[in-house]
Structure 1
């Protein structure tokens, strides 16, 4: 499809008539802000950005896209590293105005607008001492995060975000509103548990909440030469820790924060983060082997979960390139390879070289969801974040080198929210072959023309080659 540069005035007039949100086209004062996404490497110019404020707005925008033959992109938080929230010359259904979160404390549920971000959800549930698994960045969109599976700090305790999805409202490609749950349109409901935004525009989600009266962290900083010992110790701790424990090992550039010793600022450091969804005394007991190691700085603190969610937030306007490998195990040799990947981390940048533990409630979750990576005990996530365009190739090469270094222990499965466009084979690896075929049949029913293809795409069964 050839990108459009404009839409006929009559079509725009029709779209704007009765539209509760705002419509932006090139030249409008709000257009450039409306097309800015998390990854500053993405610079696309949609013909129309429809900032929807209601389900009716979504339906109307889809109708205009269909009539004008405009490629459709759906934007929630805009965190896709590949910029899938934007279409060059197409129509963007921007859900950010639909960000309301309604909590039912008695039922322990939250109804979340399709454009809400993690901070909207976390700040609303926190006064009730309730929470659910969320992304590790406060600006991540709840919708895309959950539909892709949803890996976060609380996953070992409460399962993946999609494991907590109770219901969803979806506007399909033909403008039909569909409510889905375990009892209504169950096959579509199944597909939303990891199948991403392939099946329609999800305008609201109902999520299970859990009691979380106390959240604690133990954060330790190590010099890079002590990193391998710290990584192995963290592995040993987590392999026997209760489900309440989580966190990760993260090689980073020492930030200019008060708690970071001045000699480490601007230099490679190994940060070990133990998160604990429970009492501080228990967190200290679990972390005791880590605290006994020689380290340069430590934080042991009780803090609101919503504040923990902000700890890894990056400033806006950064360039991004990420990937991941999921591992069947993490023996000493794998730990050495992980640490070797940190030795080439571009410093000073905002890049993060991350080891995440899975297991617990993640591994015990429903086995039939299209999430073959959930049985992996460990994940390595090279997270390239930088500012200077001159660093583009060296960061991308670093990410590729890290992946290659972990291949002896990798199982091939991958959490698609952690990667960009890496080809159809990786998409298949994100769903699993059998699940992909089932997703393709659901796709054929709800989106036979593949209108929603700006994602980790599942092709409709009738169109599969």
Structure 2
């Protein structure tokens, strides 16, 4: 099989590495595409999309392949695979970075930290830049510098027509608005351009662990502590077990615990002062807060959520951590049967909340916290184990019902979350606006293998009249 103008690699079921090429981060996803078009350039992406449209093939776009719902791969269609397009080019003077659509956040952190710069990225180094960005982009720097989408300056997108367009505040502004939170609904993004900020390379960062029995007390203290914290402090609470990392004493491995992971985006000594009350609370099992290279901290959890394990998520925004909400979380979080399952609570607010509602398609700026409940089991633990972990996540989400607020983060939606939850992620007004942009750029819904926004009929947003362009061969 050939694709006109395509110079990358085509992989079908007859190839020895087909199974490896179709595998994604979530090992519970097992789909068999007809063709994987592994792209090397933007021209390859254009050729692959045009080929798929000409033959009415199902299209999945793969960047990092990290989405829990497995949207990066489809059955009996074509995977437009950007995973080998991982270049990061930093302009330290302008404080910007151009990042290809297959890059991982570890690539970005390594490239930007070489110049003492960073932008808000995910909390796991092998998360894909494209998926995280297009959904909004939560990370440790978001309270200081905003979400990833708040730092996006421009994007180059291959649309459903197979055209290459540049979206920014001045070019295709309707598309640029939609890309900042609207997910992969609008095309295959081949290049992102981000604003960067001075940071590090050493920051005060790391987790502090307490015993699971102390969960309610830790959460109540944490709630009050972060309510007065400066924007420079980013925190994520992790409830589950102590991961078996080399820096953790072996006798604590897999012990039920609650942890507060911190990163202070400011001077190290200032971070140590701000975090002193947290470190002194109660009786920690282990305190790993220390001056740490930012890039190393960002990759510190990579081995705790490896490729190939089976994952199932449920999530919601939280209006706050009231005593009643704390009681629910403390009661439910440690009921998981698998020692690998965990719950993460992201502290929002700060710069995230100061961006005007409606300025971007990300609509969860009113949430005080985001919680994601992650059922995890090993590939051989199907059957009772998978059913038990799945049931736990669903019960936990249901128990949080009275405390939900601020919608749901679209990147945390799993494969069985229905269209109503997609609407919940955006709210009615933002969803209608997204549907209008979708109708302008993808009226046939070719890019629907995602948390789909269906095109409005008729479109109420008028597509920009700027002429799209095709890339010269061999460029990115």
TM-score, scaled to structure 2: 0.92
Aligned to 2:427: 432
Maintained 8 Å contact 2:365/2:406? no
Aligned to 1:55: 42
Q: 1:105 aligns with which of 85, 88, 92?
A: 92
The whole-number CA distance in structure 1 between the counterparts of 2:39 and 2:458 is 30
C-alpha displacement at 1:463, in angstroms?
A: 7.4
The whole-number CA distance in structure 2 between the counterparts of 1:240 and 1:137 is 27
Root-mean-square deviation (CA, aligned residues, Å) is 1.5
1:425-448, CA deviations, whole angstroms, 9 ceiling, x for partnerless residues?
Answer: 110011111111111111111101
Aligned to 1:383: 374
C-alpha displacement at 1:328, in angstroms?
A: 1.2
Maintained 8 Å contact 2:319/2:406? no
C-alpha displacement at 1:218, in angstroms?
A: 4.4
The whole-number CA distance in structure 1 between the counterparts of 2:436 and 2:211 is 51
Question: What is the number of equivalent residue pairs in this alignment?
Answer: 450
Where does the alignment leave 5 or more consecutive residues of structure 1 unmatched? 1-11
C-alpha displacement at 1:79, in angstroms?
A: 1.0
1:110-159, CA deviations, whole angstroms, 9 ceiling, x for partnerless residues?
Answer: 00101111111111001100000001111111011111101111111110
C-alpha displacement at 1:177, in angstroms?
A: 0.9
1:21 aligns with 2:21: no
The whole-number CA distance in structure 2 between the counterparts of 1:55 and 1:235 is 46
Aligned to 1:312: 301
Q: Secondary structure at the match of 1:324?
A: strand
Closer, same or farther: CA 127–340 of 1 in aligned 2, 3 Å: same
Runs of 4+ in 1 over 4 A off after TM superposition: none
C-alpha displacement at 1:29, in angstroms?
A: 2.0
Aligned to 1:395: 389
C-alpha displacement at 1:277, in angstroms?
A: 1.0
Q: Secondary structure at the match of 2:288?
A: strand
1:233 aligns with 2:233: no
Q: 1:126 aligns with which of 91, 108, 113?
A: 113
Aligned to 2:470: none
The whole-number CA distance in structure 2 between the counterparts of 1:69 and 1:186 is 29
C-alpha displacement at 1:385, in angstroms?
A: 2.2
Using the TM superposition, name which of 19-28 and 209-218 deviates more.
Answer: 209-218
Maintained 8 Å contact 1:259/1:297? no
Aligned to 1:9: none
The whole-number CA distance in structure 1 between the counterparts of 2:356 and 2:151 is 11
Where does the alignment leave 5 or more consecutive residues of structure 2 unmatched? 460-476
C-alpha displacement at 1:24, in angstroms?
A: 0.4
1:163-210, CA deviations, whole angstroms, 9 ceiling, x for partnerless residues?
Answer: 011001111111111111100111111111101111111110100101
Maintained 8 Å contact 1:253/1:347? no
1:327 aligns with 2:318: yes
C-alpha displacement at 1:271, in angstroms?
A: 1.3
Higher relative CO (Cα under 8 Å, sequence separation at least 6) belongs to 2
